[in-house]
């Protein structure tokens, strides 16, 4: 009987596989760079813009919440926002649940005012 095993070379890979660890490390670095520039960096930029928008909110701004409610800011504190969604109808919610601003600038950008 002959033993069923492969002798490994001193380089750490099976016989016939050249290159070694440097090409593997290089490929891993390239993959990380691709993930960073395609996924991580744009996500961080988007989060930074959202936080900046939340900091710049003021009374009277028209905003959209994560639940899709559109309202005008009637009151604002560090953590909470009071939205007036209809005359004399107000909702208090966390500032972080505001998705974005709407209003006259968005309406003017749309064709035919729709």
pLDDT tens-place string over residues 81-110: 999 999 999 999 999 999 999 865 444 444
**Are residues 71 and 105 both part of a single domain?**
yes
Tell me the pLDDT tens digit for each residue of 48-77: 999 999 999 999 999 999 999 999 999 999
CA distance 60 to 90: 13
**Are residues 49 and 65 both part of a single domain?**
no
**Are residues 79 and 106 both part of a single domain?**
yes
* pLDDT score of 114 more than 50: no
* pLDDT score of 14 more than 90: no
| Boundaries of domain holding 31 | 18-56
Tell me if 7 is assigned to some domain: no
**Burial state string for 42-63 with b = 16 or more CB within 10 A and e = fewer than 16:** eeeeeeeeeeeeeeeeeeebbb
**Are residues 42 and 77 both part of a single domain?**
no
Single pTM value for the model: 0.62
Q: Are 74 and 83 in contact (CB under 8 A)?
A: yes
* pLDDT score of 19 more than 60: no
């Amino acid at each position: 009987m002959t033993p069923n095993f492969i002798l490994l070379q001193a380089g750490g890979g099976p016989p016939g596989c050249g290159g070694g660890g440097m090409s593997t490390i290089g490929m891993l670095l390239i993959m990380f760079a691709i993930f960073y520039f395609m996924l991580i960096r744009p996500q961080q930029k988007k989060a930074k813009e959202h936080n900046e928008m939340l900091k710049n909110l003021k009374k009277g701004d028209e905003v959209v919440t994560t639940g899709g409610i559109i309202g005008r800011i009637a009151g604002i504190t560090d953590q909470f926002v009071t939205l007036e969604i209809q005359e004399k109808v107000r909702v208090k919610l966390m500032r972080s649940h505001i998705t974005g601003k709407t209003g006259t600038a968005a309406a003017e950008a749309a064709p035919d005012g729709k």
